[in-house]
Amino acid sequence: MADRHVRAVDAGRALGRGEPPTRLLFVCLGNICRSPTAEGVMRALVERDGLQRRIELESAGTGSWHVGSPPDARAADAARTRGVTLEGTARQVRTRDFVEFDLLLAMDRENLRELRRLAPHEQARGKVRLLREFDPASAPHAGGELEVPDPYYGAERGFDEVFELVQAACEGLLAQISVGEVS
Ligand code: 4NP
């Protein structure tokens, strides 16, 4: 209940001029495929809606293997085809992310479990969610799949699918933040 209140307040801040922005951290395993795609897609949506001062975002990985690497070329190509540029270099999740961000958005249940394990306390654990929970078509009541599948060892088509899944979820997330309904 306390967590729900904190999140509702955080989401409401996105609407108030002069208030601190809502801060989102997209998280996958390597921070080179799924979470940079989510970051790029959400940044494009935020710019489309002129919300740059209200919503801030970054991405990170639970693993350290790719720290310092740019987004995977296959992910960057899939995004570029759809008019989205992926930027930045990979970094690993750190403890202060649980303080600095309002929501930590996991791509799959493994990321979710790892983030919950890393969370320093109960309130921090309450900030961790699966990104696709925010896609109205995959919400639990719709019986939908809630994970963004790992495309790293799969076929090229996987990167197109990742982009489309992430885009639907980010649209839903932005809509919920905009009306203060993130919970
Ligand atoms: P990501 O994809 O978690 O979406 O960035 C992966 C990238 C690298 C590896 C696994 C998944 N890897 O095993 O190196």
Domain membership of residue 172 (yes or no) is yes
Question: With contact defined as beta carbons under 8 Å apart, do 101 and 25 qualify?
Answer: yes
Domain membership of residue 67 (yes or no) is yes
Q: Does ligand 1 have an atom closer than 6 angstroms to the CB of 43?
A: no
d(CA 33, CA 57): 16
Nearest residue (CA) to ligand 1, atom 9? 30
Ligand 1 centroid from CA 129, angstroms: 19
Domain with 76 in it: 2-15+22-178
Q: Mean pLDDT, to the nearest integer, of 160-166?
A: 97
Q: Interior CA angle at 123 toward 119 and 124, to 5°?
A: 30
Question: What CATH code is carried by the domain that includes residue 9?
Answer: 3.40.50.2300
Q: Does ligand 1 have an atom closer than 6 angstroms to the CB of 65?
A: yes
**88-100 pLDDT tens trace:** 999 999 999 999 9
Q: Mean pLDDT, to the nearest integer, of 151-177?
A: 94
Q: Which residues are catalytic?
A: 28, 34, 150
Number of domains in the chain: 1
**51-92 pLDDT tens trace:** 999 999 999 999 999 999 999 999 999 999 999 999 999 999
Domain membership of residue 183 (yes or no) is no
